[in-house]
Amino acid sequence: MDQRIAEQTIGRLSLYRRLLDTLMRDCVEHVYSHQLAEKTGFTSAQVRRDLMAVDTAGNTRRGYDVGELIRAIDDYLYAPSGQQVAVVGIGNLGRALLTFFSGRRPKLSVVAGFDVDEQVVDRVIHGCRVYHMDEVDRVVAEDEITLVMLTVPSDAAQPAADACIAAGVSGILNFAPARLKVPPSVYVSHVDLTMYLEMVAFFARQKDGDQGD
């Protein structure tokens, strides 16, 4: 948390981190930057540059110690005590996210859902209780929730975000096709699946036309 860090480096560190889990499981003790590169699709220089951000030291002959690297990335990437996450809007997408992320990672776990529909409120999905939005203040405080994944209809996105922020949330992963206005102390990232699909459509078409590459 010391100097300026490229946004995309954080994303890549997250990918390396998951890869290291599988290496650890396979009892691999050391790994070279070019091996991480190969498995993630980046270049080895990119990997080394990214790892400069974390407190680690590769051995010039054996590469990086897997356990040591895991510790270094964890230290850099995650809060020591972890961060709690809620899913707001338990519709089709919200339910999928809730199911997938609940109790997945110790450092980043989804612990609650919120909705306004009486049909889903108070249900328990994959171990997570769904609360009514009216309870957001209480539950966010009690469960120390700092992040939400926002999967409500786009009209409801801004008010729902406002309610979460008022309750103390400082990070939002927004899936609704709406730009959120938030105070500068809150970080918002926008995942626009329609946009991704249209990008794939365009570039796939372009490749078809170009006859590959």
Ligand X SMILES: NC(=O)c1ccc[n+]([C@@H]2O[C@H](COP(=O)([O-])OP(=O)(O)OC[C@H]3O[C@@H](n4cnc5c(N)ncnc54)[C@H](O)[C@@H]3O)[C@@H](O)[C@H]2O)c1
Binding region for DNA (CB under 7 A): 4, 6-9, 32-34, 42-46, 48-49, 51-52, 56-64
Q: What DSSP state is assigned to residue 122? A: T
Task: Count Cβ atoms within 10 A of the Cβ of residue 116 and give its class: 0-12 exposed, 13-18 middle, 19 or more buried.
Answer: middle
Q: Which are the contacts of 95, defined by CB distance < 8 A and separation ≥ 6?
A: 125
Least distance from C-beta 157 to DNA, angstroms? 23
Least distance from C-beta 178 to a second copy, angstroms? 10
80 and 52 Cβ atoms separated by less than 8 Å: no
User: Residue 196's binding partner, choosing from DNA, a second copy, ligand X, none, with beta-carbon cut-off 5 to 8 A by kind?
Assistant: a second copy
Closest CA to 178 of 190, 186, 162: 190
Segment lying near a second copy (by CB under 8 A), choices 61-69, 114-122, 156-164, 173-181:
173-181
Binding to a second copy in span 51-110, by CB under 8 A: 77-79, 83, 85, 91-93, 95-97, 99-101, 108
d(CA 94, CA 20) in angstroms, rounded, equals 29
Closest CA to 20 of 47, 52, 59: 47
**Residue 64 or 175: which CB sits closer to a second copy?**
175
Give residues in contact with a second copy (CB under 8 A).
1, 7, 10-11, 14-15, 18, 39-41, 77-79, 83, 85, 91-93, 95-97, 99-101, 108, 146-147, 149, 170-173, 177, 179, 183-189, 191-209, 211-213
